[in-house]
Amino acid sequence: MTRIAKPLTRLMAAAGLVLAAGAAGAHADTLADVKAHGTLKCGVNQGLSGFSAPDDKGQWSGFDVDICKAVAAATLGDAAKVTYVPLSAEARFPALAKGEIDVLSRNSTWTMQRETGQKLLFPAVAYYDGQGFMVPASRNLTSGLELSGSKVCTQAGTTSALNAKDYFAQNNMTLELVELPSVDEVAKAYEDGRCNAVTTDVSQLYALRQKLAKPADHIVLPDVISKEPLGPVVRQGDDVWFNIVKWSVFALVNAEELGISTETLAQAASSSKPDVKRFMGTDGTFGPDLGLSKDWAVAIVKAVGNYGDVFERNVGARSKLAIPRGINQLWSAGGILYAPPIR
C-alpha cells in the first residue's frame, strides 16, 4: 500500500502543479502589458477606405482606427500611442489568439462560432451592418433575387461566402462563387470582368466602389441578406481588458447621447447633470474601477469625438463613402444604437 501510495501522491502533486501552471498561463493582464510597452497593438484591415487605411505618409485613419485610438486614449491617455498591425481576414483571429496584437478592430462580424470555437470575445457592436451585393449599373438589376447564374466575387476567410451560398440555395438560384484572398483582389477581379457581382458587408461595398475607375457605373443593390454586427475583438480570459474595450465603445455612444463632443467638453465639465458628471469623471470612481484614470472617457472624446463624429467623419455624410447612418443612429433618433449607462 505504501509503495503504491507514495508514487500516487507524487503523481497527484505533479498534476496539481500542471493544473496550477495552466491556470496561471490562462490568466492574462493585457492592460499591464499595454502600459509596460507604452503602445496599443491594434489589428486592422490592410486597407479598407473609411474603416482602416494608411495615407501616403503611413498615417492610419478610419472608423476602426478610431476605435483603436479610443482604447489607447482610455488606457494610455494618448491616442497616438497605437501600433497598427495590418492583417488579412484569414490571419486576423490567429494573430489575436497568439498575442501578436492586444485588440482586433477590423470590420469583423460577431458570431457564436468565433466566440465558442476560437476562444475570442466581442465586447460590443460598433457598427451594425448586413451583407449585400454590388453590380454594374449596366446590368439593370434592382434586386439580389435577379442574380441567379451570376459569377460572384467575395473575400476568402469571411462569413460572406457562407451567407451567399445560403441565400442562393434558399431562393433556388445558381451561383458561381469566386473567393479571393484580399479586398484589393476582389475589386480587381470584379473590374477585370472575372465576376459580374460582388458580395460582402454593405459598408465594405461602398468602400470597394471607391476603388473602381468609375464608381458611378456601379450600384449597391437594396437587398440585405444577413446580420453583420461588427466590432472589436479580444481574447478570452481577461475580464478587465474585455470591459475596458467594451466601455470604450460605449463611451463613444453615451457621449453622443449626452451631447458631449470635442466642442462641448468645456461646457460638460461644469455641468451639474448627474449622468454628465459621471461621464466626465467628477462623480464616482468608474475609471479607477477599470484600472483607468477618472477622466478616461474625456480622453476618448478629446481623441476622436463621439460616436456620431466617428461615423460621419469616416463613412457617413462628411466622407467619400457617404453611407446613410440608418440603423446606426441612436435609439432615440430611430436607430438601434444603444449603450448601457455609466452609473
Taking the CB of residue 249, how many other CB atoms lie within 10 A of it? 23
Report the pLDDT value the prediction gives residue 26, as an integer from 0 to 100: 43
List pLDDT tens digits, range 156-173. Answer: 988 899 999 999 999 999
Which among 51, 217, 243 has a CA at the least distance from the CA of 129?
A: 51
Report the pLDDT value the prediction gives residue 18, as an integer from 0 to 100: 35
72 three-state secondary structure? helix
What is this structure's pTM? 0.86
List pLDDT tens digits, range 8-38. Answer: 434 334 434 333 333 333 448 999 999 999 9
Distance, in Å, from the CA atom of 151 to the CA atom of 327, rounded to the nearest integer, reads 30
Distance, in Å, from the CA atom of 127 to the CA atom of 216, rounded to the nearest integer, reads 25
On the question of pLDDT at 5 being above 80, the answer is no
Distance, in Å, from the CA atom of 311 to the CA atom of 316, rounded to the nearest integer, reads 6
Distance, in Å, from the CA atom of 303 to the CA atom of 219, rounded to the nearest integer, reads 35
| Cβ–Cβ under 8 Å, residues 193 and 238 | no
On the question of pLDDT at 115 being above 60, the answer is yes
336 three-state secondary structure? coil
Q: Which residue has the higher pLDDT, 316 or 20?
A: 316
Beta strand pairing call for 40-45 and 103-104: parallel
Report the pLDDT value the prediction gives residue 183, as an integer from 0 to 100: 83
| Cβ–Cβ under 8 Å, residues 167 and 144 | yes
Report the pLDDT value the prediction gives residue 2, as an integer from 0 to 100: 42
